[in-house]
Structure formats: C-alpha cells, structure tokens
Amino acid sequence: MESQLQSLSGRLNQIVCGDALEQLQSLPDASIDCTVTSPPYFQQRDYPSAAQIGVEATSQAFVERLQAVFGECLRVTKDTGSLWIVIGDKYVGGELLGTPWRLALALKEVGWRLRSDVIWHKPNAMPSSVRTRPTTDHEYIFFFTKSKKYYYDADAIREPHVTFTEKSQMRGGRNHFGKRGGTPEEGKNAGNSNLHAGRWDQAFHPKGRNKRTVWSISLSKFREAHFAVFPQKLVKTCILASCPPNGVVCDPFVGSGTTPIVARELDRNYIGFDCVEAYCEMARQRLESPT
C-alpha cells in the first residue's frame, strides 16, 4: 500500500485542473482503489473550458468521449478496484435518449464489469409541468469492477431490517416474531429453519439487511455553486463499500469537491480533476473549510 501511494507522489490529496483523459493518462497503472464520479451530462450545461465534455453534437459522440476517459480509468484502477458513475438522461424532441445505459454498455466493451445498476431516487427533485409522461425524479448509478474478485464491504453499508419495523408487510402482522412456526409464508421463507424455529436472531444479519438498489437521497446544495451538488450520503455509500481504509479515491470530474471531502472524512486519500479552474478552486476552498 505504501509503495503504491508513493507512486502517486505529488498528486495525492490534490485537486488538479486539467482534461480528465489527459490527467488519468499521467497516473501509474493500478494505483486507484475506487473512482466515484458524476460526469457532465449530455447537453445540459456549457462550461468555460475547451476541454469540457457534454457539448458534443450527438449522444453517441458524448458516450464515445466518456468511453475513452473511463477506459483509461480502467488502466489506473487496481485489480480489486471499482468504479461508481452517477448519470442522468435527457429528452430530445420529446424522446428519451437512453444515454445512461448506452454509456454502461460502452464501458462493458472496454473491459469494465457491470456489477449493479442503482436507482437514485431524489425526493426533492425539481417539479415539472410536463403532461405527456411521468415527472423524472431519479438518476442512474452504475457500479463497475475491474475483475471478478474485488474489494466490497457489504457490512459497511447495510440498511436497517424492515421486517422488525412498522413498515413490515409480512402477512399476519408482527405477532409471529420470535415464535416457533410463526411465519405464515410458504414462499421465500418456507425452507428457512431458523425462522420457523423462532431463531430470528440467526436468520437476520445483526448489522442490518444487504443494501438495496434503490437509494432515496435528497439533492444537496452548496451556496457557492449555482447547481445541485453531489449528495455526501451517496458518495459515502460508494466509498465505504468499495475503498479500503487508507485507500485512494479518484474523481476525474470533481466539480465542487464533494468526493474528496467525503474521502477525507472517511480516512481515505483522494485525487480530483476538473477542466474548469473555478470549480477546482471551489473544491479546494471547501476542503479547507468544509460545510
């Protein structure tokens, strides 16, 4: 671990202004544990940089540029490492482009292994006056790994068991808890001897249930930014799951700096890039006095 950190000398725990692809090309092989990022979305904003991504003429050209960036990201990721990408879709001419899944499939083509798709549900999503379709209140989070065997700490991101709360929808209410033969289900619980013998403490993990694939997390705001920023809760989940203590987290589209802030709070190292100097400076200021 120490030798790998030394290979990143001068870049570790720094925010560097520059093109994402070029900056990744400057990193040594297998030096990053985990990348957590949200790249610019297709034709959403015009950033003050000639190196910006997102202003391509077609969604296919947009996907191809990101494919090149994350292809290089694959090289710099350790064999045990992973990649989390947050990305939203776009309507053009009244038709949904399907950009998130186009990108996911393109990254599979360059060697990333798609382990999970997650729905980020945004309870405070912007209202919409659209009358011809449902209002969009979600984005996609894609979880990729470099190899079949990778670092993943399921215990660090477990959720509370619903079964033991008022939200439980098990038939018969909660009167069956702890009772021998008290579970009425004949389906998924039919063969669980622990449940039917009343040994509930052995049937459910003491730290909670495994993380689900729908994450309900509100958008975050930062007073210096004119846009909604990465929710720290979302980033924290990804880092805890996929980056070991003292590991290195990368964000090639660092924006206002949420990924580095969370990484530092969790005792991980970070590397952040952005092609807009104003955002890099904003990220550095937030790291000096995080809010």
pLDDT in tens, 11-66: 899 999 999 999 999 999 999 999 999 999 998 877 777 788 988 999 999 999 99
Q: Which residues pair with 119 in a beta bridge?
A: 140, 214
What average pLDDT does the segment 132-146 reach? 96
218, 270: one domain: yes
The verdict on 32 and 165 lying in the same domain is no
Give the residue carrying structure tokens 């989070």.
141
Q: Could you tell me the pTM of the whole model? A: 0.87
196 lies in which domain range? 160-209
pLDDT at 195 over 90: no
Is there a single domain that holds both residue 109 and residue 149? yes
Q: Strand 138-145's sheet: what is its strand order?
A: 14-17, 269-274, 248-251, 32-37, 77-87, 138-145, 113-121, 214-216
Average pLDDT over residues 80-96: 95
**286 C-beta neighbours (distance < 10 Å), count:** 20
Whether 59 and 121 map to the same domain: the answer is yes
d(CA 140, CA 94): 20
Same domain, 25 and 137: yes
Residue 237 and residue 109 in one domain: yes
Mean pLDDT across the chain: 87
Check whether 183 has a pLDDT greater than 60.
no
32-37 and 248-251 as β-strands: parallel, antiparallel, unpaired? parallel
Give the Cα separation of 238 and 47 in Å (integer): 27
Q: Same structural domain for residues 111 and 249?
A: yes
Amino acid occupying residue 119:
I
